[in-house]
Structure 1
């Protein structure tokens, strides 16, 4: 057989093999997609049999957040105090909880990330914006971004609570609360995480369907009562491994008609929100 004809035969055989491989991959993808859909439907069915309605339009995709180890950095606490209060002085040279004071208020920071800033009325105002936009602007001044978790009235005060974001994902154990008295911001308190990622690892996380089943099991085992899931949000919970080292673990936050709960995306552990 001439080489040109043999070459054409070989190319035709390779094309046939590639076509067969594509068909096999496509078939496996369809089977995988169908299996995932059936698993989701089964998880929702189990939930309904447990007396809990799922109010979201569809089950969220599987979580893909990494496990992150963060080394705290406290070097800019004085800069944050100055950005919010103007010129300040260090009143207590205590490494555990330094306190800054100025004409416009005070600021205290702790080693575990908790802080309290008290402002004099008129220092930070709405300036024509709504509470959320003004609060987000204040967080940006502190070098933070946050996801709004709650807005409520407390007597004459308007109180907004945010979860600090880490790489775009909320850290549920780092809430920041801003208190407004009329148009004046009078207090900021909560917990902040600032530092650098010492490590970031991709771990095998539980599927969303499995997390949903673990949620139902946790509710039943703990004797909790709820009738509907109103929201299901991915994010992190933090835990201190050393004084300066913090681990961020991927979790799902379930918001229900009776409260909020967490399911660890690594272990499936169920815990109620505090």
Structure 2
């Protein structure tokens, strides 16, 4: 009847200091076991959340974005710097995703599964002489994504003049004309150049035509029986000049 309960009495009689010391030892032991377990799981390939072990499969957002016309202005080439992931099965990005949007942020084109840092698209898929912006993100083999890159602006070139025509006015002059580009392209002027071989014999900024369908100008002081090359392009601004329309002609 008067027997003691050793474990309970002994625990109750522990000093506060001894109690805290024992608790600390127990906590450290459990922490050590947890650390060993986590390390083992990390190297055995067991995932924690989005990454492995203590890390998270991540990378900085892509940078170095550029866009330029290639293939005689028929295509637009987008480029960006490669990204490197950390705490992933593979540090190299498995693919990239490119979005092209209108200036008001409306999504226009979305390209995925790009396996390089370059993407070419047809220039005709975008409106001429319009403002766009684009962005890129990287995707790891674990299907984790980087943040989207900052937007980069792009302005497409003005449309190339069509139906370039040379009408002989005399043996030394010709009227050169072409079909007008719609006014919605917000052009400033047309640039006309006439060359004999490699020499420029005539160059002029031609104002936008008042006529509905065509614009033209009279070129004088030419020579008969000489082969000339004429070219004309639309200019919207100093940094936005379209492709040249070209043709050869000879006066009689």
TM bin (shorter chain): under 0.3
Higher relative contact order (CA 8 A, sep 6+): 1
TM-score where L is the length of structure 2: 0.20
Higher share of residues assigned helix? 1
TM superposition score normalised by structure 1? 0.19
